[in-house]
Structure 1
C-alpha cells in the first residue's frame, strides 16, 4: 500500500513538472507583447496626437503608462516571491489586455492617458516576472546563454512592431496598435496555465501596501512637477514648491517604512551588494535615455525631416535590432571577460549613440537617426543583460523576484522621470521659441500637431512651417543634449562596478 502510494505520488510529481521549452516560449510571447508595445505606440503617437489633439499632453501618454509600470513592478516582484510567478504573471497579463482594449476605444487624449494607466498597471508584472521565471528555470551558465533567446524577442518585435505600426496608422487605424496585444496575451496565458508548475510554501504573508502607496504618491508628485514645471507653472511657483516638498517628504516616509516592515516591498539590504547598487543606479539613468529616444525620435523624423510614419518606425527598429544582437554577444562574453568589462562596452556605445542624436539636423536624414538608435540599442543590450544575470546570480530564490523587479523598477522609474523631464524640456523650449518669434498669442504648443501630418503640413505657408520646424528642431536638440549628459553619467557609474565578481 505504501509502495503504491509512492508510485502515485511520483507519477503525480512527474505530471506536474514544468515543461521548460514551452514555458520559455510562453515567457518569450509575454515579453514580445510588452516589447512590441514600446515600439509600436511610439511609432503611432504622432498620428494619435494629430487625431486626438492636445500635443501638450504628448508626454503624458508615455508618463501615465510608465508611472503605473514603475510603481507596480515592485509589488508584483514581491508577490511573485510570496505566491509564485505563475498567478502573478497571468493577472498582470489580464489587466494589461483590459487596458489595451480600452486604449483602442479612446476618443480624447485624456481618455487615452487614463486607459494607459490601466495598461501600465498590468505591464508592471510582465517583464520582471518573465525574467524571474527564466532565472528560476536555468543555472547561471544557462541564463547567460538563454539571454540570446530572450533578446531575439526584441529583434523580432523591432522589425515587426514599427513596420506593423506604420502600416496600421497609414492604412487602417492607430486603434489596432493596441488591439494587436489581445491574441498575444491570450496565447501566453494558455501556455503558462498548461506548462508552468510551481511548488510554493503555503504560509501567511504581510504585503507592504503602505509602502506601495507612498511610492505611488512620491513618484506621481515628482512627475507632475517635471512635466508641468516651466510650462504651466513657473519653477518657483507655489504648486511646484509644494509638490516637490510632498515628493521629498513621502520618499523619506517610504524609506523608513521599508526599514520597519517585516516583508518590505523594496528590501534595501539588497543594495548593500555593490554590484546591485551600481546596476540599479545605472538602470535609472539608462531608463531616462531610452525614453528620450523612443518617445521623441518619431516626432523629429516626421515633423522635422518630413518622413512618413513607416520611416519613423524604421529609425526606432534599429535600436531594437541592436539591443538583441548586443545582448546575445553579452550573454557569451559574460562568462569570458566578466560583467564589468561587458557593461563598459555598453556604456561606450550609449555615449556614441547620444552624440549622434545631439548632432542630428534636418538634413542628416533618417539613416543617421537610425544609426544613433542602433548604437543606443547596442549599449542597452550589453548593460541590461549584464545587470540581470549578475543580480540573479547574486541572490537566492526567495529574493530573486524582488531583486529582478527592483532593477527593472529603477529602469522604469528612469523612463518615468525621463518622459516627464524631457517632455517638460521640450514644451518649455517650444514655448520659448514661439515667444521669441512673437507667435505666443497666435499659436500654442498644440500648433506643432500640424507638423506631424503631411497634408496639414503642406497647407502651411513656408514662413510658418519654417518657424514651427525650427522650434521643434531646437527643442528636440535640447532633449538630446540632456540624453548625452545622462549617457556620460551612466558610463561613470558603470566604472564603479566591482572588478572581482562574486562566485
Structure 2
C-alpha cells in the first residue's frame, strides 16, 4: 500500500506537470503537449505483458524491486531534463516510466492477495484500490502546493508577479515571456526533483520487502 501511494503520486504528478513543461516552457502546442504522454500507456501495456512472463520465473518481491528501479531511472531522467535538453529524452523517460509501472502494478494484487487469509482478500484489495485513488489526490495536492510556492517565489525574484498573462504568440513581450518560461521551468523542475525522491523511496521500500521476505523464509526453514 505504501508503494502504491508513492508510485501513484509519481504518475499523477508527471502526468499533470509534463504537459505544462511542454507547453509553458518549450512552447509546444496543446496537441504536442498531450502527445508527449503517449509513450506511457504504450510501454505500460508492454510492461504488464513482461510482468506476466516474469511471474513464476522471479519472486514477486524481486519483480517489484526491478519495477521500482526502472521507475527511479525514469524519474532521474526527467530530473536531468532542462530547457536545452532534446525533446526525445522526455519521450524516452515517459516510456521508461510506463514500462516500470506496467511491471509493478499487476504484482501489487498478487502480493496483497497472498499476504492475507482468503476471508480478508476483498478488504485488502479494496484498501489498495482506495490507496491508489487517494495517492492521485494526495500527489496533486502536495506537488501542486509546492509548484505554486516555487513559481510565486521565483516570480517575485524576477519582478514578474502577474502570472496570468497569455502565452500565445504576441500575447506578451519577448522579455516577459522569457521570464515566464524561466518561472515555469523552475517550478516544474522542483516537481521532477520531488518525484525522483519519491521514486528512490519506493525503491528502498521494495528492497525492504525483499529483505523481510527472505528473513521470513529463513525463519520458517529454521523452525522446520
- TM-score, normalisation: structure 2: 0.88
The answer to whether 1:475 aligns with 2:187 is yes
Residues 458, 335 of structure 1: CA spacing in aligned structure 2 closer, same or farther, 3 A cutoff? Answer: farther
Q: CA deviation at 1:427?
A: 0.7
Q: Distance in 1 between matches of 2:207 and 2:137?
A: 25
Deviations 1:342-378 (A, max 9, x none): 1111111111111111111223243211111111111
The answer to whether 1:323 aligns with 2:35 is no
Task: Tell me the equivalent position of 1:491.
Answer: 203
More RCO (CA 8 Å, sep 6+): 2
Deviations 1:292-344 (A, max 9, x none): 10111111111111112222222211111121111111112121111011111
- Asked whether the 8 Å contact 1:323–1:378 carries over to 2, the reply is yes
Deviations 1:77-121 (A, max 9, x none): xxxxxxxxxxxxxxxxxxxxxxxxxxxxxxxxxxxxxxxxxxxxx
Task: Tell me the equivalent position of 2:144.
Answer: 423
- Asked whether the 8 Å contact 2:160–2:176 carries over to 1, the reply is no
The answer to whether 1:361 aligns with 2:73 is no
What is the aligned length? Answer: 214
Larger Rg: 1
Task: Tell me the equivalent position of 2:171.
Answer: 459
The residue matched to 1:320 in structure 2 has which SS?
A: helix
Q: Distance in 2 between matches of 1:316 and 1:347?
A: 19
Q: Distance in 2 between matches of 1:483 and 1:386?
A: 21
1:297 to 18, 29, 38: 18
Residues 461, 383 of structure 1: CA spacing in aligned structure 2 closer, same or farther, 3 A cutoff? Answer: same
- TM-score, normalisation: structure 1: 0.41
Q: Distance in 2 between matches of 1:319 and 1:344?
A: 20
Q: Distance in 1 between matches of 2:38 and 2:143?
A: 21
Q: Distance in 2 between matches of 1:496 and 1:437?
A: 44
Q: CA deviation at 1:398?
A: 4.2
Task: Tell me the equivalent position of 2:131.
Answer: 410
- Asked whether the 8 Å contact 1:349–1:376 carries over to 2, the reply is yes
Alignment RMSD (CA, Å): 1.9
Q: Distance in 1 between matches of 2:35 and 2:86?
A: 12
1:391 to 112, 116, 119: 112
Q: CA deviation at 1:397?
A: 5.1
Deviations 1:9-57 (A, max 9, x none): xxxxxxxxxxxxxxxxxxxxxxxxxxxxxxxxxxxxxxxxxxxxxxxxx
Task: Tell me the equivalent position of 2:7.
Answer: 286
Deviations 1:231-272 (A, max 9, x none): xxxxxxxxxxxxxxxxxxxxxxxxxxxxxxxxxxxxxxxxxx
The residue matched to 2:38 in structure 1 has which SS?
A: helix
Task: Tell me the equivalent position of 1:377.
Answer: 98
- Asked whether the 8 Å contact 2:78–2:90 carries over to 1, the reply is yes
The answer to whether 1:309 aligns with 2:21 is no
Q: Distance in 1 between matches of 2:89 and 2:15?
A: 15
Q: Distance in 2 between matches of 1:383 and 1:300?
A: 27
Unaligned regions of 5+ residues in structure 2, if any?
A: none
Residues 365, 306 of structure 1: CA spacing in aligned structure 2 closer, same or farther, 3 A cutoff? Answer: farther
- Asked whether the 8 Å contact 1:316–1:370 carries over to 2, the reply is yes
Unaligned regions of 5+ residues in structure 1, if any?
A: 1-279
- Asked whether the 8 Å contact 1:305–1:365 carries over to 2, the reply is no
